Structure 1
Amino acid sequence: MSESPTSSKRLLAVCGKGGVGKTTFTAMMTRILIEGGKAGKLLLIDADPAMGLLNALGVDVRRTMGQVREEIIKTARRGGKEEKIQLVDMLDYMALEALSEMEDFALLAMGRTETLGCYCPVNELLRGTIETLSESFDTILIDGEAGLEQINRQVMRRVDTLIIVSDATSRGIQTAGLIKRMVQSDRVIQCEKMGLVINKVQGNEELLEQFAREMGLEVFGYIPQDENIAYHDLVGKPITELPAKSPSLVALRDIAKNLILR
């Protein structure tokens, strides 16, 4: 994993409704951060229970934070006082066990939560542990759910930049506007900067820009429809292995350059 220093820590979160290419975007952004050489120590957090980022990157994990959460809840329900104290003391170690170290990045998958109900103290413990773990990294990139609740409850209280991904439709951009309003109402994660990336674009940028303005959204950039992505999805190849000159990668390099690689 790269050890080159960065000028400051970056916390980035990606969200968007299902089917817009959010996870593909995160996988491509991972490649670009590594290529740019300015990410330093890079931590990826897959906060979407579907864990599609693992497939997009072509990696696997031994353990998820969801499994850690289940252990905590089980002990809290049935364990004695001594067991509960020991469990809290072991949380950092358990999180490290769930951290998968790759050559160029580390990955933490939140996974699914099987136990239903409100476990706010458990979520706060996990969030604190993840925030402590994140201090060892220069860049943190989070692939989140559309509604951001999973990030807010169990991952981070705030990020520097929130990237909302939409497809090239008015409905998609309306959903992005809803996410923006949720953030502004302090119901979900806090961020310093927020904007829209419109994916799968086949022209009509001016009209899409107009839709975004109506939602009060800054457009970070446009990513064109890319047949290479469709082929990689069809045959099950990792998105990180896209040809270097794929239209989507070329466009995203420009977005990343203006947004985070300056």
Structure 2
Amino acid sequence: MASSKSSMEAHLELYEIILSAAKPMALRAAVLLNIPDIIAIHGSQNPLSVDQIASHISSSTNKPAHTDYLFRTVRLLASIGVCTEETTVDYGGTPQFKYGLTSLSKLLVKNGAQQSCAPTVLAINLKCIIDGYQHLHDSVIEGCPAFTKANGMGIFEYNSNNPEANRIFNEGMATNTGPLMAHVVKIYYGFNSLKSVVDVAGGVGSAISAIVAEYPHIHGFNFDLPHVIRTAAPIHGH
């Protein structure tokens, strides 16, 4: 039988869970502020100081970036392994902090060699989705989807009426599908014997695009709601 946690250990574990809601918000802020790209481009993969990161944020937004709040954000990111943190002491004895990329934040670089996961971060943290989590208790008591309770309609109806949310959501889903399907089509040989494939609820066509690119003899059909298909790019292949 596993030993039970002490009261202090339980409290610390509970507080870590309670405060975990801040983590995806910090990731979202990093993506919106282009912090991973700033470090990758202007740091040449080397750590940058908060002042350096703030300077590049200000240049891109034409608004002053407040270093105190930026410091809090990147330090939170460092605490969960999204950024590295290096500490030195200047001649006056004041600690100086620099932040670099880890394997996690490299996945958020938008102009990197591999497909960025930044769109997925933005999709999962859409306000309409976050608002739904505030109503999880209502979904139990009233037997209704939490998203619908928060927004007055289901997610697909909501996206059909909100083009920007629709775009962000579809881009996020496509980004999530791309790397997975690139792996699937290399190891699954069941497509060899097929002449056509229909992907129902295929979003903007990431999955079917990967299939027909690897198996050009297949005629691929992507099927989804009109407001989703409108945002889809042309699929190259059959």
Same fold by TM-score, threshold 0.5 exceeded? no
Higher strand share goes to which structure? 1
Q: TM-score under structure 1 normalisation?
A: 0.22
Larger radius of gyration: 2
Higher helix share goes to which structure? 2
Q: TM-score under structure 2 normalisation?
A: 0.24
